[in-house]
Structure 1
């Protein structure tokens, strides 16, 4: 594991961090669960769950902090205000994290994205908006409609372009054709505790998979059983089940 490295978020006083696990292999940009930190992935056993892949040089994880406390988890702000702040977080990823990853790897390489819970939203959203850099997304137990996240106020352009359910529904023409040719999304969700209430992960994942189907965007949907909960033990199992075929 590398040491934590921090970078300022453009246009703010925030500083967020990134940690690397692994020395070689497919680079995976990892988003934590809601309001989480870069350390959470390892501390919750996710690296250990696929340690064989890490040790074999098949995968490197680049785990980032979230900015959710300032964006989507700030219920005092309107949905549009939170979406505008999300753009600053995306700018941090684009202008600080990705160049650092490229420096670590000795040049730019195609990334995969990965996230659990709210991190699944971040992973899928980043791939759908940056498929030229990160064409594969793995979202586990995610919710993909930001308008449902205890928001208030009017929804403007920032909300639209931060909301996969909205902008995917609006896609057409050459851009949609291009996205179909490069992007792939894996949606994983359980049917057990907390996957419906309060997270709405199960219904949101099913609805979003249907939307991807309607748009012809390559994706896979994997629904686990009624014992599969919205929690780290199940995310460890799901990661160990799916990741080997991607790296």
Structure 2
């Protein structure tokens, strides 16, 4: 399996971003790490191995990026407004710097996004903020209400980064063309959040799949079971 470490300077963040690319050809799937996770997390926890067949058969190319959590959601020493600003810079790095590179490199109009736990929030938030750039969305074990990090602070930037708030009012034809899978498990503490998001999408008539695994928990074995099945839905 082809593996490539990449490092690039982000104009928006003013620092180098690191990522791991698995596969030399195929449809690009951007993988966001869990809370404060690094670009090598998906490999270390064998999420990459779970879709090895798709990579080796040149069907997909996984792009595993570093998180920006340490200066946004988990930067408790910073004012909530500053944390939101930093997250928005991370979002712009993805949407305006990384995604255009992937679109050109892989010759696609839209990419896939995926993530587990907080990475699932990142994937869903990015997809719903930029639906013109995302064709496939796979969240696994995620919760989507980011107000839990804000300590009661609320402004329009919380609203526009909090899918349970902004999605009921959002309008975009691309929502209805996106392949959306919300994965959770019966004993996952994030299960209710997935039911809530599924209800929001259903009320808008947005096609999606809510996948609740029986007897599962909020952990990597469940996500490794989910991911290859979700990837197969691309084809």
CA distance in 2, matches of 1:220, 1:78: 37
Distance change (3 Å), C-alpha of 1:180 and 1:245: closer
TM-score, scaled to structure 2: 0.91
Q: Please give the secondary structure, in 1, of the residue aligned with 2:69.
A: coil
Tell me which protein shows more strand as a share of its residues.
2
CA distance in 2, matches of 1:26, 1:12: 27
1:187 to 161, 182, 193: 182
List gaps (5 residues or longer) in structure 2.
none
List gaps (5 residues or longer) in structure 1.
none
Task: Note the alpha carbon deviations across 1:144-177, whole angstroms, 9 max, x for none.
Answer: 110123x225311111111111110222xxx34x
Q: Tell me what 2:163 maps to.
A: 164
Q: Tell me what 1:231 maps to.
A: 219
Q: Tell me what 1:53 maps to.
A: 54
Q: Please give the secondary structure, in 2, of the residue aligned with 1:243.
A: helix
The Cα RMSD (Å) is 1.8
Please tell me whether the aligned partners of residues 53 and 59 of structure 1 are also in contact (alpha carbons under 8 angstroms): yes
Task: Note the alpha carbon deviations across 1:169-209, whole angstroms, 9 max, x for none.
Answer: 222xxx34x144333321000122xx21xxxx111111111
Q: How far did 1:12 drift?
A: 3.9
Task: Note the alpha carbon deviations across 1:92-133, whole angstroms, 9 max, x for none.
Answer: 11232123323432x344211100000001111111111111
Please tell me whether the aligned partners of residues 30 and 114 of structure 1 are also in contact (alpha carbons under 8 angstroms): yes
CA distance in 1, matches of 2:101, 2:135: 19
Q: Please give the secondary structure, in 1, of the residue aligned with 2:233.
A: helix
TM-score, scaled to structure 1: 0.87
CA distance in 2, matches of 1:181, 1:148: 29
